[in-house]
Chains A and B, each alone.
Chain A
Amino acid sequence: MEWGDYDPEGFFDEAFEAPGKPRASVQPYLREAERLGWPELTRRAALAETMLYRKGVTFSVKGDAQGTEKILPFDTIPRTVGEQEWATLDAGLRQRVRALNAFINDVYHQRRAVKDGIIPSELISSCQGLMPSLQGWAPPLGVWCHVTGTDLVRDGKGAWHVLEDNLRCPSGVSYVLVNRELMKRVFPAFFEQQGIRPVEEYSERLLGTLRALSPKGAPQVALLTPGPYNSAYFEHAFLAQQMGAQLVQASDLRVEGDELMMLTTRGWSRVDVLYRRVDDAYLDPLAFRPDSLVGVPGLMRAVRAGKLALANAPGTGVADDKAVYAYIPALIRYYLSEDPIIPNVETFVCWDEAQRSHVLANLGSMVVKAVAEAGGYGMLVGPHSTRAQQEEFRQKIIANPRNYIGQPTLALSRVPTITPEGRVEGRHVDLRPYILYGKEPWVLPGGLTRVALRKGSLVVNSSQGGGSKDTWVLSSRAQHPAEPLVAGVA
């Protein structure tokens, strides 16, 4: 039997304590998996992959003239998070997002945290994501980051850490929703065996978060996409479809007076809330990039006039700069007077001379990251790098220390995964939960588990051999509430 041979190989494995010794949280899954048998399990895994193609959950490969379509590989062995464990993460993520939002608001107003010596002034003013033109501006409800994707990892002992925050246009939530639908279709029995928290309310919650940004009773909500050739277009169209929102491109829009209008078959029609999935720099050429023709001229004027709500607000990039990240635990204490519930990964900011020396002396064992990059780009994984690559990063760090941070290489936790040969082996994972923030922060139970499918790899990004898994947050509550749906009706 495949599972009997499974070996954690000395890593922290989320499913097995030791060879042949599964953790309690995965036992219901394993019982059902054994009942199905390995051949049936892998047959259904292949079926799930076919369904992804059928559903068109694909992206076209950049620069491929053939128009080849790819799917994000999906591994059908789920990643399980216990009920108590999730309660802690849920509280920690809500805490973090409240602090991040307070920080962004402070940056564009008094900068109390600078005056009180929590974070250096130069660090903020040198952030690529800072939008100086927003100084003094306040978004509706005082909320800047309506949708946040904060990446979590577990270290060699299983302890959870925040790896980074994504406060601009975090993507991937459509995979959470699609993966779950596939799992329910392909493995319905798993969901009958135990309580697994549902995820499908996300679209409804997102719509509620967006609608709350407008004073109107029935605001027109639109989702702004860079267009059908963007690799995340499926997600943009999917979320618009799920929310019943208009999917728009910049070419459908213009600003008339202080109002954002879209061109419909019945003429120009007002947009009240824009969930934008394009970067700040491509929103409004008049405000951010005078040399650019991309975007909607005057869009920021509509935002400032209070006639258009943007989610996320512009300028949030200042808080997901990886050097600023190092200060977030201190900022949580400062703004909320609470201890951080989920710690950061130990981080060395190269901008600081002493910390830089430490990074330069340990390039072979550390992970070095560019502060404003995402997607696994601009990164050195020390233990997996060559001398030449380390030398290249040494030069880069010395030339522009503000642009780099170093972190110890974590032995990321692993989860059993089906290999291309049809065996089961441990692979490293991370977790991106999604936090919505309208009136109060709300965390989607679970999130996107990304898995590094290449043996031994620590890089989970889809552009570099990553795939995804369904994330199960267990619940001891019955799946169906016992109380009647309508109060007073038995």
Chain B
Amino acid sequence: MLRRAAENLVWIGRHLERAESALRVIEAECLLSLDHDRDPALTWKALFTALGDPSAGGQGLFSSRDRAVHWLLLEPGNPNSVLSCLQSARENARILRDLFPGRLMDQANRLHFILLAELSEPAASLNEMLEELARALAAWHGLAEGSLSRDETWHLLHLGGMLERADQTSRLLDANVLLINDSVLGLGSSIEAPWRDLLQIASGLEMYRRQAGAVAPERVVRFLMLDGRFPRSMKHCLAEAMKSLEALPWGAVGEAARRLGAMHAQLAYWSPAEPVLPGLHERLDAFQLGLNRVGDALGEGLFNPFAEEDPALMSPRGDPMEAQQQ
């Protein structure tokens, strides 16, 4: 596998996961906001903060549902919008199409065309369009699962997806902390309501119920942070990412694996006696910082084209097409 391809593969995994996460948020929030009499502006603000766009508030996006949804879904100027994420994923897949079975590439194109159609002529029902996108994304994962050899291509895609998913779950948890601190709950809402919503957004309500029964803040946080079996829990994502790192050339990913292993150990050996709620925001902050440091280590070890090169041998090498056009 070419070193150049490795970075693109991780980004495909990341962008698909990020798009899926944004879709989940939009879908769930549009439904939930119909039930609760809480301030939608504050809810969107918390979600935007969690999804990495706190500055978007300056553009008055929180004031209306349509504008907030547009920003998260279709705004090309938002690098984390579903549109932006799926476009970069597809472009990276196009560049690497030699690595994929044809049907997988077809599916990446299909995602693109669903959005293209929505841009030129918005669907009458937003929910139907979200449903179609979510299904197309699920089909991509299904095709990948059933047709990709478990070689470096698979593990790099999986690594990107799992790192992103761990990050997204931690951000959603953080958004909830923010919401509660801002006391946006309406009079009719219970203390449990935002935690139940959180489980909805994380597609984990049913799994949580089977395991832990009634919704209680401490248990919800434990479930999303520490559960070893729920596929979106932070611990599970880190364990999956570790497995993929171990299948990659150790010389290139060793440092990333050491950093990730330490983070995983912290979650895996969490004492049942120690509560998770106190200081949660700070802990999640540290977790996200830790993930960034894993990303840095990957950049140093795996993606850097000059990692092993003698500096004397480094030479700028251009793209032949660019030069031809000059």
Which residues does A use to contact B, with CB under 8 Å? 53-56, 226-230, 234, 237-238, 240-241, 245-252, 254, 262-268, 278, 282, 292-295, 297
B305 within 8 A of A: yes
Given A56-B105, A56-B109, A265-B6, also A251-B317 (CB < 8 A): yes
A297–B315 Cα gap in the complex (Å)? 10
| CA–CA, A182 and B313, complex, Å | 48
Residues of B within 8 A of A234 (CB): 97
Which 3 A-B residue pairs are closest in the complex by CB-CB distance?
Answer: A240-B98, A241-B98, A247-B98
Residues of chain B having any CB pair with chain A under 8 Å: 1-4, 6, 94-100, 102, 105-106, 108-110, 113, 152, 248-249, 251-252, 302, 305, 308, 313, 315-321, 323-324
- Show 27 residue pairs from A and B whose CB-CB distance is below 8 angstroms, ordered by the A residue: A54-B109, A55-B106, A55-B109, A56-B108, A56-B109, A227-B321, A228-B95, A237-B95, A237-B98, A241-B98, A241-B99, A249-B4, A249-B319, A250-B320, A252-B2, A252-B4, A262-B2, A263-B3, A264-B2, A265-B1, A265-B6, A265-B252, A265-B302, A266-B252, A268-B308, A294-B318, A294-B323
Taken together as a complex, chains A and B put the C-alpha atoms of A264 and B313 apart, in Å, by 17
On whether the beta carbons of B2 and A263 are closer than 8 Å, the reply is yes
Q: What is the distance, in angstroms, from A246's C-beta to the closest C-beta of chain B? A: 7
Q: Of B98, B100, B102, B308, which is within 8 A of A55 by CB?
A: B102
Q: A264 contacts B1, CB within 8 Å?
A: yes
Q: Is the CB of B105 within 8 A of A265?
A: no
* Chain A positions within 8 Å of B248 at CB level: 265
Q: In the complex, how many angstroms separate the beta carbon of A263 from the nearest chain B beta carbon?
A: 5
Cα A254 to Cα B2 in complex, Å, equals 13
Contacts of A241 in B (CB 8 A): 97-100, 102
A293 in contact with B318 given A56-B109, A252-B4, A282-B323 (CB within 8 Å): yes
Cα–Cα, bound, A252→B1 (Å): 11
* Distance, CA A265 to CA B99, complexed state (A): 15
| Least CB separation from B9: chain A residue | A265
Contact yes or no, A292 B323, CB < 8 A: yes
Q: Is the CB of A237 within 8 A of B97?
A: yes
B3 in contact with A230 (CB, 8 Å): no
User: How far does the Cβ of A141 sit from chain B's closest Cβ, in whole Å?
Assistant: 26
Asked if residues A226 and B4 are in contact (CB atoms below 8 Å), the reply is no
> Whole-angstrom distance from the CB of B12 to the nearest CB of chain A?
14
Contact with A293, one of B94, B152, B317 (Cβ below 8 angstroms): B317
Q: Which chain A residues lie closer than 8 Å to B324 at the CB level?
A: 226, 282, 294
Known: A227-B321, A293-B316, A294-B318. A251 touches B98 (CB 8 A): no
A228 to B6, CA, bound (A): 16
Chain A residues near B320 (CB, 8 Å)? 226-227, 250, 278, 282, 294-295
Once the chains bind, are A267 and B109 in contact (CB under 8 Å)? no
Which A residues lie within 8 Å of B95 (CB)?
228, 237
User: By the criterion CB–CB under 8 Å, are A226 and B321 in contact?
Assistant: yes
Beta-carbon contact of B321 and A263 below 8 Å: no
Closest to B103 in A: A55
CA distance A247 to B4 in the complex (A): 11
Q: Cβ of B94 and Cβ of A228 under 8 Å apart?
A: yes
CA distance A440 to B302 in the complex (A): 43
A267 touches B308 (CB 8 A): yes
Given contacts A254-B313, A294-B323, 18 further A-B pairs with CB under 8 A are: A55-B105, A55-B106, A55-B109, A226-B320, A227-B319, A234-B97, A237-B96, A237-B98, A251-B319, A252-B2, A265-B6, A265-B248, A282-B320, A292-B323, A293-B315, A293-B323, A294-B318, A294-B324
Q: When the two chains form their complex, are residues B2 and A248 in contact, meaning their CB atoms are under 8 A apart?
A: yes
Chain A residues near B305 (CB-CB < 8 A): 251, 263
What residues on A are CB-neighbors of B98 within 8 Å? Answer: 237-238, 240-241, 245-247
In the complex, what residues of A have CB within 8 A of residue B302's CB? Answer: 265
Is B3 a contact partner of A229 (Cβ separation < 8 A)? no
Q: Given A265-B248, A267-B308, do A56 and B319 touch, yes or no (CB 8 Å)?
A: no
The residue on B at minimum CB distance from A241 is B98
What CA separation (Å) do A246 and B98 show in the bound complex? 8
B229 to chain A minimum Cβ distance, whole angstroms, is 31
Q: Are B2 and A246 in contact (CB under 8 A)?
A: yes
Q: Is the CB of B94 within 8 A of A56?
A: yes
Task: Find chain B residues with CB under 8 A from A264 CB.
Answer: 1-3
Q: Select from chain B the residue with minimum beta-carbon distance to A278.
A: B320
Cα A230 to Cα B106 in complex, Å, equals 20
Contact of B321 among A230, A237, A292 (CB under 8 A): A230
Given that A265-B1, A265-B249 are contacting pairs, would A226 and B316 also be in contact in the complex, using a CB cutoff of 8 Å?
no
Chain A residues in 8 Å Cβ range of B249: 265-266
